[in-house]
Structure 1
């Protein structure tokens, strides 16, 4: 009976260890799905009561853009039961019309010198060519003026397509050049371009120095200007027409807060810095009272991993020409879509006077959130979580409703509520995770129990052996005699 006892104790310890390991293994490691309690900002969605399912449209405001990450991984919509609801974020459709320029070069051109020194170009358009709206003459020459006329030769008499227009280049004085001639639309296929002067006389920058000796033997010197004849060289002529289309993106404009404008006389630049509200920007429109200039511009934003440094994101040219009837302005810069708090624009002045920058306007698309709502349910928009993962939703029903052009119902966002969150547990490293593994704890417990049981078993066996060994009566131990 006594020999069975240690075996029973060993079996009992092993069973308890296995049960502990099994319970630890069955314990869930952790739910990988983000809980609604992890978002810091909550806003109720105000919608009108309805008895049917609705396609809800929710415009997004500045607070949303200031507290969300690119790609919207930290955005969620929940219902009354704290269940996550599928949603989409898209650019707001619009009906804005704009024109697309189309340039082409005519295939048949004839040159015809005139008796009065003019040069005429006879252009035969193909039947498939659109109606020209603009003539552009390309020449490598600088410092010139030419008067141009364009007529439709298919009518009798010829129909003028423009008033006599001056094309020019004043590079000697400043960077001002105009080579375009606006035209009236015509169905005629034969056009005549008349350039007033085929060969022009120009004053040469060189001077002829003449030395003469008068009757008294003294030398007299005089200068005489030289005139050179220069033909008007034409590399190419192109026509431009436009087509009207509708934009599918509804843009919005908002002023950017100017924080600093400084001049750098060493680099010969003007630097202007602005603050933005992180709403998307695809264009920047500069404001300046200066006229008759052309400058190269670079747009910079803070670097992604080093915000104290700047990185280039776009470059372009701004200009403003105003002289007589000439008025051409280009102060808009195109950008890749940006979400930024700070924006910097560097203007290359070279040796020209600095440009005074008085402001800027940011232009970009609007965005909206779409979801399907059920009758009797209320919804909340959650965002602002630096650890949230991109939700994986079933969007088939929502996409189908959009494809069928289902009418949308516009909702509004109520004020922001800052949520009371439980403190986040620190993320354990790989070593800590290994030590907390239930399988490892179960194995260690099992081995420890086995060793403990084996030790107890050996100890009990030794006790039993000692208790069953009879004393030796034939040879009693005699204590030694002192």
Structure 2
């Protein structure tokens, strides 16, 4: 036995039914727990198993000896052992789970691979990572399973751009005519983008197309490019085209020269006899010419059968809105069923706005709860003449929370008229191998269940290539009448409580410090 203190000489009747051997020797017959060893079984000359730290201790009352302090520390550490074991040694038993649902397999005539989609009821009652989900048959035999995302195949559209060639410009009164052609072997143009350093403008655009640069066909007669940044961050520099295969284009830009009132004014005073007789305030008008740095054309490529994780809309449990006038913010509180969400979409009837927004999730830091941003976006809605654009979605990495906050910065603008929030997230399913003639239930909802360790991933990956899983549904959630409470739940909460753990650690440090202090006091009594 390593680390046991015992006095020199033969072992007597104190441990008559136990066999002890010195440290370093093999053949131990029985493990003796520390509290079972009588306090007077010790070696006066030193410690075994920990090294020859002290050669000799003077005889004194045992209560003052440092061995007592060290023993107390070891007892405290040993007492935490069974508590820790209680968190991971529970047998797999359906009475540990709060709920169950039938798996609607139908006729179970042969062995097959089944899959069911995880829904809001399952997410609301399970922990992060789904460690408290089990699939059991009628005899409570466990069926290994794998959680995997549901994928779908769809088109993916990607926008690409290119430079035009052969630019030629001609003035026509207060308008300009721009001619150019597309590069050789380039795809057809779906629209043009104008790049200009100018702000606060509005220009009407007409576009004509031609196969040979001689005969022209009108494509766009009332296009508009504009920038209203004086009022808000609203602009448009693109002119989309109808479907065409023309290689030559002619663009007419009207009212290329405009007048804009300068923010500066000219002031003049007239004095007579030392007194002000007249004051004049003249506004200055700037004449501006619309400058175009370059024109690019754009087109869209489509890629078929791109694999994407399937998204689904999940229900929102509660929605509250409040306005913080001091911070000039609108705060939306959204409660969900802990689904794996990836974004929120704002529902509003407001028009022509441009606001910064962020999604926040609660984070526990000690005894306090803080709100941490997990996603940001710019929300906007533009409705002007024939232009209709909006972006009301805020995306974030997948998250499972009961409550979220959406913070919208209003600045000096009136709050938005928000009617609700839509939640969207990833879709997952559980896949398992079902035996012939057996029906199964899914049990879930436990604070003490540990994550299962299955080899289902490797097995199912090989089988699913030849035998795709058959989708099945789940019955209604049922309260488990055999649920016997959470074994070890009090211990789990105690071990996860930072106040409790901090107190235990502080107690251990104090006891150890007291022992070391008493040991140091005895150094002066050691023989020279």
SS in 2 for 1:105: strand
Distance in 2 (CA, whole Å) between partners of 1:17 and 1:212 is 118
SS in 1 for 2:221: coil
Task: Name stretches of at least 5 consecutive residues in structure 1 with no aligned partner.
Answer: 1-9, 431-482
Give the aligned partner of residue 416 of structure 2: 355
The verdict on how the C-alpha distance between 1:128 and 1:404 changes in structure 2, with shifts beyond 3 A counting, is farther
Q: Does 1:89 align with 2:151?
A: no
Distance in 1 (CA, whole Å) between partners of 2:485 and 2:270 is 103
1:233-273 CA distance string (max 9 Å, x none): 33443433334445643322245345432222221111111
Q: CA deviation at 1:295?
A: 0.6
Give the aligned partner of residue 289 of structure 2: 231
Q: CA deviation at 1:314?
A: 0.8
Q: Does 1:176 align with 2:234?
A: yes
Give the aligned partner of residue 205 of structure 1: 263
Of the three residues 306, 314, 325, the one matched with 1:265 is: 325
The verdict on how the C-alpha distance between 1:405 and 1:137 changes in structure 2, with shifts beyond 3 A counting, is farther
Give the aligned partner of residue 509 of structure 2: none
Give the aligned partner of residue 448 of structure 1: none
Of the three residues 462, 470, 477, the one matched with 1:408 is: 470
Q: Does 1:315 align with 2:376?
A: yes
The verdict on how the C-alpha distance between 1:128 and 1:40 changes in structure 2, with shifts beyond 3 A counting, is farther
Q: CA deviation at 1:111?
A: 4.4
Q: How does 1:175-194 map to 2 (within 5 A)?
A: 175-194=233-252
Q: CA deviation at 1:108?
A: 3.1
The verdict on how the C-alpha distance between 1:202 and 1:45 changes in structure 2, with shifts beyond 3 A counting, is same
When normalised by structure 1's length, the TM-score is 0.75
Bigger drift between 393-402 and 140-149 goes to 393-402
Of the three residues 317, 324, 343, the one matched with 1:283 is: 343
- 8 Å CA contact 1:56, 1:409 repeated in 2: yes
When normalised by structure 2's length, the TM-score is 0.69
Give the aligned partner of residue 483 of structure 2: 420
- 8 Å CA contact 1:34, 1:389 repeated in 2: no
Give the aligned partner of residue 56 of structure 1: 114
Of the three residues 436, 450, 475, the one matched with 1:375 is: 436
1:387-429 CA distance string (max 9 Å, x none): 3333222223311232236251423234323242376257699
Q: Does 1:45 align with 2:103?
A: yes
The verdict on how the C-alpha distance between 1:413 and 1:154 changes in structure 2, with shifts beyond 3 A counting, is same
Q: Does 1:103 align with 2:164?
A: no
- 8 Å CA contact 1:55, 1:371 repeated in 2: yes
Give the aligned partner of residue 70 of structure 1: 128
Distance in 1 (CA, whole Å) between partners of 2:130 and 2:141 is 18
Give the aligned partner of residue 211 of structure 2: 154
Distance in 1 (CA, whole Å) between partners of 2:233 and 2:253 is 23
Task: Name stretches of at least 5 consecutive residues in structure 2 with no aligned partner.
Answer: 1-10, 21-27, 33-84, 496-528
- 8 Å CA contact 1:106, 1:124 repeated in 2: no
- 8 Å CA contact 2:164, 2:297 repeated in 1: no
1:293-346 CA distance string (max 9 Å, x none): 111111111115567321001111111122333322221222222211111111
Q: Does 1:365 align with 2:423?
A: no
Distance in 1 (CA, whole Å) between partners of 2:98 and 2:29 is 37
Give the aligned partner of residue 403 of structure 2: 342
- 8 Å CA contact 1:321, 1:327 repeated in 2: yes
Distance in 2 (CA, whole Å) between partners of 1:377 and 1:128 is 62
- 8 Å CA contact 1:258, 1:360 repeated in 2: no
Distance in 2 (CA, whole Å) between partners of 1:13 and 1:202 is 106
Distance in 2 (CA, whole Å) between partners of 1:256 and 1:240 is 39
Larger radius of gyration: 1
SS in 1 for 2:186: coil
The verdict on how the C-alpha distance between 1:274 and 1:211 changes in structure 2, with shifts beyond 3 A counting, is same
Give the aligned partner of residue 458 of structure 1: none
The verdict on how the C-alpha distance between 1:262 and 1:83 changes in structure 2, with shifts beyond 3 A counting, is same
Distance in 2 (CA, whole Å) between partners of 1:132 and 1:322 is 25
SS in 2 for 1:227: strand
The verdict on how the C-alpha distance between 1:154 and 1:318 changes in structure 2, with shifts beyond 3 A counting, is same
Of the three residues 461, 472, 488, the one matched with 1:399 is: 461
SS in 2 for 1:389: coil
Distance in 2 (CA, whole Å) between partners of 1:292 and 1:191 is 33
Bigger drift between 312-321 and 171-180 goes to 171-180
1:134-169 CA distance string (max 9 Å, x none): 322232322111111222232452233323211112
> What is the RMSD computed on CA atoms of the aligned residues?
3.6
Of the three residues 297, 302, 308, the one matched with 2:357 is: 297
Q: Does 1:134 align with 2:194?
A: no
The verdict on how the C-alpha distance between 1:323 and 1:294 changes in structure 2, with shifts beyond 3 A counting, is same
- 8 Å CA contact 1:301, 1:343 repeated in 2: yes
Distance in 2 (CA, whole Å) between partners of 1:350 and 1:414 is 48
Distance in 1 (CA, whole Å) between partners of 2:161 and 2:220 is 20
SS in 2 for 1:162: strand
Q: CA deviation at 1:126?
A: 3.0
The verdict on how the C-alpha distance between 1:288 and 1:129 changes in structure 2, with shifts beyond 3 A counting, is same
Of the three residues 392, 398, 412, the one matched with 1:331 is: 392
- 8 Å CA contact 1:256, 1:359 repeated in 2: no
Q: CA deviation at 1:204?
A: 2.7
